[in-house]
Structure 1
Amino acid sequence: MSPPPDATLNPLQPLKFLLPIPIKLPELFSSLMKGFVAICIVASISLLSFSTFSTRQWLDSSDIDLINPSPNPTIQLGNTNNGEDNTNISHILFGISGSAKTWDQRRQYSELWWSHNVTRGFVWLDKEPAGTWPATSLPYRVSANTSQFKYECSYGLRSAIRIARIVKESFELGLDNVRWFVMGDDDTVFFTENLVGVLGKYDHRQMYYVGGVSESVEQDVIHSYTMAYGGGGFAISYPLAAELVRVLDGCIDRYAEFYGSDQKIGGCMSEIGVPVTKELGFHQVDIRGDLYGLLAAHPLAPLVSLHHLDYVQPVFPGLTRIDSLKKLVQAYKADSGRALQHTFCYDLLRNWSVSVSWGYTVQVYPLLVTAKDLETAFQTFVTWRSWSQEPFAFNTRAMSLDPCQRPVIYFLDRVENAESGRTQTSYKRFVAKPGKECGHEDYAPALAVNFVNVSAAEFDPATWTKAPRRQCCEIVNSDKNGVVQVNINGCNRWESVTPP
């Protein structure tokens, strides 16, 4: 039955003309709802049946698991152990490039971080070394002959071929329980605890290529922004290494014009389709001059490696390169995750700014400096290739020659044993040129501070698995007995470095 053409619809009685007998509105509504629910149930069952039928027309038995995954899938994403233990140093196989001629001069770098019967790997030489192999050095292997490969870079060295094949020759050793292959140079210093922590974030059963790029933009432009630079070190997971080994020798010839071994491996990675996962703690150190500015404003990342240390000034003034590194390593061993971690805070009673690069240096400014400036590295260096003032792959700010435009600088003096879960470090004021200090009145109180003592909660390695945030500090007292005391802790909620 349909309504008559001239029927007028009353909103209070919208369906009265459809009913043979009058009923009350609540009863009508209840009846309609029951009918509607029944229709929905029938429609849902029909749709589900059709969906199941139509979907399974193009699914085979292996595809069904994608829709109905088993409770224990074979492949898992993310940092899951799937019953395995966490990644540790024994799961890493190092492949260090070296030469028989220069090993005696370079081995002091590797011996800083290598631990016998703990660290696994080899330095790969171009030929058998003369004389007795030093007992303090890591074990060596001699690389295979590479004369059959093409090398067409006019300004490079054929040794790039041999070095590129280290990962292949390391893989073919067939050693047990290897999750990661880590490549580096004989002048690279690794900070292995932090390296383990970085690699532990990634699922070693997947194909990962982890490393860093050059600090000098000119190097990135010439070589690549999309490869891991070999001197700073890079890591290749076992599954990716297996795939890389399959194509590597062909890549070496296909990319014969490439300068370096890392470029050739980068070309292979492009063919495989695996991009570099960049970690800021791998340092190629493609800069010249003084590394101070970079280390004093280290990025928010664990320190993993330092390279090219023969081409920059000693890390600590007044010490040799090796003695400087020993001092840095000493602090690193006291609290590995905190090494070079940067924090800064204000003394609002005196309007001072204090910047701490833990285990290395402290800067005291007798004024309030913005956080943006404090986190920006002083440019105490030039570019790698052209020795130019710019550009770099990170922000820099000028270091003035005027002592009244510079902070008062302190260098690590000693590291004390941790007590109650805290480390104690002391930093001594550095005087570059006696008699050349700032004579302004507002600098005098800062210049009267001879030591800055820093107390810090022992760094929790799990911090690196969380969203990154710079830790906070507070100045406990200003200049009692010529000493400033700074405490470093995790930040509280709503805490920020915001001057008044």
Structure 2
Amino acid sequence: MLFQMKPRFLPTFTFTVCALAFYLISISCTNFFYPLLKTTPFLDTFSTNNKIRDPPQATATADSRTNLSHLVFGLVGSEQAWHHRKAYIESWWRPNGTRGYLFLDKAPSPGLLPWPETSPPYRVSDDLKELLNKSEIRAQRMVHGIMEVLREVDYENFRWLVMGDDDSIFFVDNMVDVLATYDHTKYYYLGGNSEFILSNYLFSFNQAFGGGGIILSYPLAKALARDMENCLRRYVFLNSADNTTRACIADIGANLSPQKGNHQIDFRGDISGLLLSHPLSPLLSLHHFDMVEPIFPGTDRFESTRLLMKAAAADQSRMLQQTICHHRQSNWSFSISWGYSAQIFERIMPRSYLQMPVETFKPWVRTPRPPNYLFNTRKPSRDPCEAPHAFFFESVEKKTESDEILTSYSRAWPRDLPACSSSGNHSADYIQRIQVFSPANKRTQVDRCECCEIVGVDSIKAEIKFRECMTDEIIA
């Protein structure tokens, strides 16, 4: 259950060895990791002709602002998994808006036909067994998908290639806004690390993890596609798609530009602690929803995804952005993760503390000891002055008369704790709903978070209004 994780004790040395052994075995068979590097000598380079065309003269001017039509998506998945994973992709895919392809490992079975217009058009991946002289080509199939996308698409206005998995959830409006800040005529390789330190250590701290999205500018994607078969032969001993992609790109001369909004989600269990304290960066992607608990109480994974995207449809620029304000009369702290959740703490807490995620989640696999994550965390607490009252997103409404968006968050469960005595015994148990009014306009400022005011507290609800922070305002 959300926010009900119990602290775990450090495993013994014997358990540590077993856990790491389990990890090494599991990554060889899971759909989410690939085996470790083998120290096989490099193979000779072969010359090939991948028939990658140069784009015709674009109809849009080179300095026009990037928009959704400039992005092409390449999603790689399995026919077997698509039966239940298509709901993730369809939650963000926009027929006649987004463009790209889903590459399956084999032709769809009759149960998937006729192919719906709500899904990306599909293609069947090339068979690489003969090319690479090996039977296990799943990792290489994903990398080769980059070339296969370029082989399919109309190059007109093509600026960015976004590769993902069949369970990647992309926030395309935010992606467009972030990519608009980069020069698409240069060689750019964008994406996010794994949140789990061991994953980065075993594969690379310099790679984008593909489930969270690998984003390539068109010139880099074209250069990679032209050298694709050579590079796959050069790194045939690598059985990690993401690491192979990194290696091929490094040989072209480009390196990763990390994005804090791309999330691999290498966790297990309840990830609400992470989503409640998102970095000050636009949310670009989420992944591995099959491996974590539903993010909203009382829903399944697909219902949770649809509910999250309902908020995203109203305002992606504020999705999961954390806003904090204080009710001084009651000594309460409010923390809002827009479009997802709200919390009340019964004492005044500074932003420096509340921005650290609560470790409600577990690492991808158990490890001997911390650190496990690329960010600082705090442990869940049952201290009445530390434990929050939890509220989750329920509805969104556009208020045209006031040019605002109203999001409502309802109490998830009773806190079942006494009031915080050190701050005056001001219990928030009676609050059942939090209503948040935010500006209807897209937020473009990312150097500083928004601030808020508690504009009303009555017998059942609290009302909060977002605003830009004042010049010298301190959130503490």
TM-score (norm: length of structure 1): 0.78
The number of aligned residues is 409
Encode CA deviations 1:314-356: one digit per residue, 9 max, x unaligned.
0101111111111111111111111111110111222111111
Aligned residue identity for 1:207: Y
Q: Write out aligned runs for 1:66-81 (5 A).
A: none
Higher mean displacement: 380-389 or 303-312? 380-389
| Residue equivalent to 1:426 | 408
Cα distance in structure 1, aligned partners of 2:444 and 2:353: 28
Cα distance in structure 1, aligned partners of 2:119 and 2:132: 32
Match of 1:188 among 168, 171, 183: 168
Cα distance in structure 1, aligned partners of 2:261 and 2:114: 32
Q: Write out aligned runs for 1:12-411 (5 A).
A: 84-131=63-110, 132-135=113-116, 136-150=118-132, 158-177=137-156, 178-386=158-366, 390-402=371-383, 405-411=386-392
Cα distance in structure 2, aligned partners of 1:472 and 1:210: 30
Shift of 1:101: 1.8
Relative to structure 1, is the Cα distance of residues 312 and 389 closer, same or farther in structure 2, using a 3 angstrom cutoff? Answer: farther
Asked if structure 1 preserves the Cα contact closer than 8 Å seen for 2:330 and 2:426, the reply is: no
Aligned residue identity for 1:139: P
| Residue equivalent to 1:11 | none
Match of 2:469 among 491, 494, 499: 491
Shift of 1:459: 4.4
Cα distance in structure 1, aligned partners of 2:130 and 2:62: 45
- For structure 1, the residue ranges without an aligned partner over 5 or more in a row are 1-80
Cα distance in structure 2, aligned partners of 1:307 and 1:187: 6
Encode CA deviations 1:209-232: one digit per residue, 9 max, x unaligned.
111110000001001111111000
Asked if structure 2 preserves the Cα contact closer than 8 Å seen for 1:363 and 1:407, the reply is: yes
Asked if structure 1 preserves the Cα contact closer than 8 Å seen for 2:430 and 2:459, the reply is: no
RMSD: 2.1
Q: Secondary structure at the match of 1:282?
A: coil
Aligned residue identity for 1:397: R
Aligned residue identity for 1:317: P
Cα distance in structure 2, aligned partners of 1:166 and 1:369: 48
Shift of 1:384: 1.2
Relative to structure 1, is the Cα distance of residues 311 and 174 closer, same or farther in structure 2, using a 3 angstrom cutoff? Answer: closer
Asked if structure 1 preserves the Cα contact closer than 8 Å seen for 2:393 and 2:408, the reply is: yes
Cα distance in structure 1, aligned partners of 2:98 and 2:425: 48
Larger radius of gyration: 1
| Residue equivalent to 2:48 | none
Shift of 1:247: 2.1
Encode CA deviations 1:210-257: one digit per residue, 9 max, x unaligned.
111100000010011111110001211111111111222222222233
Encode CA deviations 1:120-139: one digit per residue, 9 max, x unaligned.
01100111111114313211
Asked if structure 1 preserves the Cα contact closer than 8 Å seen for 2:320 and 2:340, the reply is: yes
Asked if structure 2 preserves the Cα contact closer than 8 Å seen for 1:248 and 1:265, the reply is: no
Higher relative contact order (CA 8 A, sep 6+): 2
Asked if structure 1 preserves the Cα contact closer than 8 Å seen for 2:194 and 2:266, the reply is: yes
Aligned residue identity for 1:358: W
Higher mean displacement: 312-321 or 421-430? 421-430
Cα distance in structure 1, aligned partners of 2:134 and 2:441: 48
Asked if structure 1 preserves the Cα contact closer than 8 Å seen for 2:342 and 2:434, the reply is: yes
Cα distance in structure 2, aligned partners of 1:262 and 1:378: 29
Encode CA deviations 1:27-81: one digit per residue, 9 max, x unaligned.
xxxxxxxxxxxxxxxxxxxxxxxxxxxxxxxxxxxxxxxxxxxxxxxxxxxxxx9
